[in-house]
Structure 1
Amino acid sequence: MKIAVISDIHGNLDALQAVLLDIKNRGIKEIYNLGDSLYGPLFPIETYRLLVKEKIQSIRGNCDRILLDSDTDNATVQYVQDLLGEDQKEWISNLPFSLETEDFYFCHGTPSSDVGYLLEEMSPNGSMLKKTEDIMELVKGISQNIIFCAHTHIPRVVYLPNHKIVINPGSVGLPAYEDELPIYHKMESGSPYGNYTIVTKQEDECFIEQILIPYNRDEAIRQSEKNGRSDWVKALQTGRV
């Protein structure tokens, strides 16, 4: 069994196309998307169309949820909302919070929150890996041994003493960002490439590959500049804030 897991596309159509082409070239048929698909100053409608065309199994991220919020003063949220039609709104509203199979569990943030960080905690010194017992507490109700999360945009694999493995595939379309909550922090992958994960299950073993994909970022950078998002320009160029 072999699956590909993508997340945090954020309307970056060119990155998504490059990642899906690589997945196709590897002969992988089963793809899961951990959410935050359309939000951003880029190409939300085109991204939606490609996800639907390729029948990608998707869940809802926090940035998907806020696109249905009618009360916003966020210019980028408003940019996307102004483009959304009824088909896109219905698609977002029907996205499940999580997905699970016999072997895998998929969520955006944590199994109970789309804004929580499952693997990282924030401090004035930046992002740090949570204590093992804190991670185990967050996933104690999950029966599957392979758990996928996203939201931080940072690729990571964490092995737990109870033999569970938590995997963050990183971000397809936005390799760095900064946020004010729960305290001000930066999340930086350090690379402008698109990220995703492949998991191959052979008998009782799982082989994990974190993949970095180069792609032409010119259109995404131009669109970010057009929409006044210099922070996105830097993130797309460098993988840093």
Structure 2
Amino acid sequence: MIAILSDIHGNLPALEAVIADARTAGATAFVNLGDSLSGPLWPAETADLLMREGWPAIAGNHERQVLTHAIERMGASDRFASERLSAAQLAWLAAQPPVLALTDEIFLCHGSPRSDLEHLLHTVEAAGIRQATEAEIAERLGDTPAALTLCGHTHLPRTVTLADGRTIANPGSVGLQAFHDDHPLPYIVENGDPLARYALVRGTGVELRAVAYDHLGAAAKAAREGRADWAAALRTGLAG
């Protein structure tokens, strides 16, 4: 059984709670779908834990941004992480591929197979974010042949099986349950509670899970770092 983690965003206590829950449930392997460190929490400490574990990992859009954007171009979350990561930790990020065929049956991507910024299971439009239709998902998935494609990025857990039998699953976010974004249009994500999300995979079957952790401690850390937006989201799972 494989535990699927994504969008940890430097939330060390959430990550530790998810690891403990997954191991208790019987997980014998872990996979990380990216956006591991960016945010006003514990990027270096989270990197240390992930490097020790040595799980298969892919890069999300925040890894790419931390590694390629000039510091003055970075958003506050990327800049916070970048300023605290060692050369060894940055090299570990740089070694992560954007996509990965984990097995013949399981394919990993952060956003969609073609872009780390494209939502695979959700669609952003002027009215906000909604669940993507099967036709939209199939178009974004393209000719990816795997029976199970695992993606992250949206922080919204969802599993869909297409008419051709391919399953796509997003485990949700370990570390952040609400946020504002403006790509490709302004929208808000809210899971409505502070629980850490991940998934368990048995064969090609997917179980979405949510785990309690010290979210108030994480919110207090964000507040100390001057990020009231993150503090509110970590406390409530709402974007405010």
Q: TM-score range by the shorter chain?
A: over 0.9
Amino acid at match of 2:233: A
Which of these residues, 204, 207, 212, is aligned with residue 205 of structure 2?
A: 207
Give how far 1:13 is off: 0.2
Partner of 2:217: 219
Give how far 1:186 is off: 0.3
Give how far 1:27 is off: 2.6
DSSP 3-state at the match of 1:4: strand
Amino acid at match of 1:184: P
Which of these residues, 184, 188, 191, is aligned with residue 190 of structure 2?
A: 188
Q: Calculate the aligned-residue CA RMSD, in Å.
A: 1.2
Give how far 1:73 is off: 4.8
Distance 2:58 2:238 in 1: 26
- 2:20 equivalent to 1:53: no
DSSP 3-state at the match of 1:8: coil
- Spell out, residue by residue over 1:94-150, the C-alpha distance to the aligned partner (whole angstroms, 9 max, x if none): 111111112111100000100111111112222112222221122122111111111
Unaligned runs of 5+ in 1: none
Please say if residues 216 and 234 of structure 2, whose CA atoms lie closer than 8 Å, have aligned partners that are also in contact: no
- 2:132 equivalent to 1:133: no
TM-score by length of 2: 0.95
Query: Where do residues 1-241 of structure 1 align in structure 2 (5 Å cutoff)?
Result: 2-68=1-67, 69-71=69-71, 72-100=73-101, 101-201=103-203, 206-241=204-239
Q: How many residues align?
A: 236
DSSP 3-state at the match of 1:83: coil
Amino acid at match of 2:132: K
**The 10-residue stretch of structure 1 (3-12 or 23-32) with the greater mean CA deviation from structure 2:** 23-32
Give how far 1:182 is off: 1.0
Distance 1:103 1:186 in 2: 33
Distance 2:190 2:18 in 1: 20
Unaligned runs of 5+ in 2: none
Please say if residues 51 and 92 of structure 2, whose CA atoms lie closer than 8 Å, have aligned partners that are also in contact: no
Distance 1:78 1:37 in 2: 14
DSSP 3-state at the match of 2:83: helix
- Spell out, residue by residue over 1:158-181, the C-alpha distance to the aligned partner (whole angstroms, 9 max, x if none): 111111111000000001111112
Please say if residues 216 and 235 of structure 2, whose CA atoms lie closer than 8 Å, have aligned partners that are also in contact: no
Distance 1:197 1:5 in 2: 5
Amino acid at match of 1:199: V
- Spell out, residue by residue over 1:65-107, the C-alpha distance to the aligned partner (whole angstroms, 9 max, x if none): 1112224253332222111110011011111111111211110
- Spell out, residue by residue over 1:174-226, the C-alpha distance to the aligned partner (whole angstroms, 9 max, x if none): 0111111211100111121000001112xxxx432111000012331121001
DSSP 3-state at the match of 1:21: helix
**The 10-residue stretch of structure 1 (54-63 or 215-224) with the greater mean CA deviation from structure 2:** 215-224
Distance 1:91 1:190 in 2: 33
**The 10-residue stretch of structure 1 (129-138 or 26-35) with the greater mean CA deviation from structure 2:** 129-138
